[in-house]
């Protein structure tokens, strides 16, 4: 938590602070991901405008967890550049745009903000390497290490009509 009253901001003034933010263990889709053991340092810029406060949070960290394809350990770099605004007097109906969810009184919860920003910036699939081959769906062999002796999967009969269209299409 950052006590904004300590920054003593007048309209037009800006202050920057560096603050360690603990990256909590994240659970996405039933899979757990973790940040680094030591909290990364985030840079927080706070600007006092005539009508409110403008916040900018910048952070670089690494998230680790299982690869989506082969389940081996994987790490992905995450870079955050997030902004929030808190109006002094939010207009009725515009609260979603004019109220910072991480601000309570004079206290800004940079840790919760960083955690939410990390989740939003993570890739859809975390891979151990870009060309990860994954696991064989039949026997579970890690296809990055070697191949298995399983026959190719049977075609899905639900795609039969499309396959027939492809087979009937003229070549050329």
Count Cβ atoms below 10 Å from residue 40 Cβ, excluding itself: 18
In tens, the pLDDT along 22-40 reads: 887 888 778 888 888 888 8
Binning pLDDT at 50, 70 and 90, where does residue 5 land?
low
Highest mean pLDDT among 11-25, 122-136, 157-171: 122-136
Specify which residues 34 forms β-bridges with. Answer: 64
Every domain of the chain and the residues it spans:
2-121, 133-172
pLDDT beyond 80 at 63: yes
- What's the mean pLDDT in 158-162? 85
Q: Are 34 and 2 in contact (CB under 8 A)?
A: no
Q: Give 135-154 pLDDT, tens digit per residue.
A: 988 888 888 888 888 887 77
Query: In residues, how long is the chain?
Result: 172
């Amino acid at each position: 938590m950052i006590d904004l009253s300590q920054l003593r901001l007048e309209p037009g003034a800006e202050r920057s602070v560096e603050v360690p933010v603990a990256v909590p263990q994240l659970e996405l889709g039933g899979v757990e991901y973790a940040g680094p053991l030591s909290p990364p340092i985030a840079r927080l810029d706070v600007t006092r405008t005539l009508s409110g406060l403008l916040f900018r949070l910048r952070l670089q960290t690494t998230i680790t967890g299982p690869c989506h394809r082969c389940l081996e350990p994987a790490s992905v770099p995450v870079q955050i550049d997030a902004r929030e605004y808190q109006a002094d007097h939010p207009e009725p109906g515009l609260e979603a745009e004019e109220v910072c969810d991480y601000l309570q009184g004079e206290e800004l919860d940079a840790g919760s903000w960083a955690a939410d920003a990390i989740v939003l910036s993570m890739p859809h699939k975390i891979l151990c390497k870009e060309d990860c081959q994954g696991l064989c769906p039949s026997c579970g062999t890690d296809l990055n290490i070697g191949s298995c002796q399983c026959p190719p999967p049977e075609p899905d009969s639900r795609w039969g009509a499309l396959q027939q269209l492809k087979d009937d299409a003229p070549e050329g």
